[in-house]
Amino acid sequence: MRVNILLGAPGCGKGTAAKQLVQQFALIHLSTGDILRDAVSKGTEIGLRAKAIMAAGKLVDDDTVNGLVFARLQGETGDVLFDGYPRTLQQAEALGTFLSAQGIELGLVVDIDVPENVLEARVVGRRVCSNNGCGAIYHLQNMPPKAEGVCDKCGSPLKHRADDTSEAFRARMVEFNKTFQPMAAHYKAGTQYRRADGNRKPEQVFESLATLFKENA
- Which CATH number fits the domain that encloses residue 15? 3.40.50.300
> Which residues constitute the domain of residue 195?
2-114+174-215
In this prediction, residue 28 has a pLDDT band, given cuts at 50, 70 and 90, of: very high
Q: Is 43 a domain residue? A: yes
Return the H-helix or E-strand segment holding 29: strand 28-31
3-state secondary structure of 135: coil
Supply φ then ψ for residue 184, to 5 degrees: -65, -40
Q: Is 164 a domain residue? A: no
Q: Measured between alpha carbons, how far is 69 from 45 in angstroms, rounded to an integer?
A: 14
Q: Is 41 a domain residue? A: yes
In this prediction, residue 4 has a pLDDT band, given cuts at 50, 70 and 90, of: very high
Is 103 in contact with 132 (CB distance < 8 Å)?
Answer: no
Q: Is 141 a domain residue? A: no
Q: Is 99 a domain residue? A: yes
Q: Is 14 a domain residue? A: yes
What is the number of structural domains in the chain? Answer: 1
Q: Is 50 a domain residue? A: yes
Q: Of 11-15, 40-44, 117-121, which one has max mean pLDDT? A: 117-121
> Is the whole-model pTM more than 0.75?
yes
Of 15-24, 37-46, 75-84, the poorest mean pLDDT is in: 37-46
Q: Is 124 a domain residue? A: no
Is 187 in contact with 193 (CB distance < 8 Å)?
Answer: yes
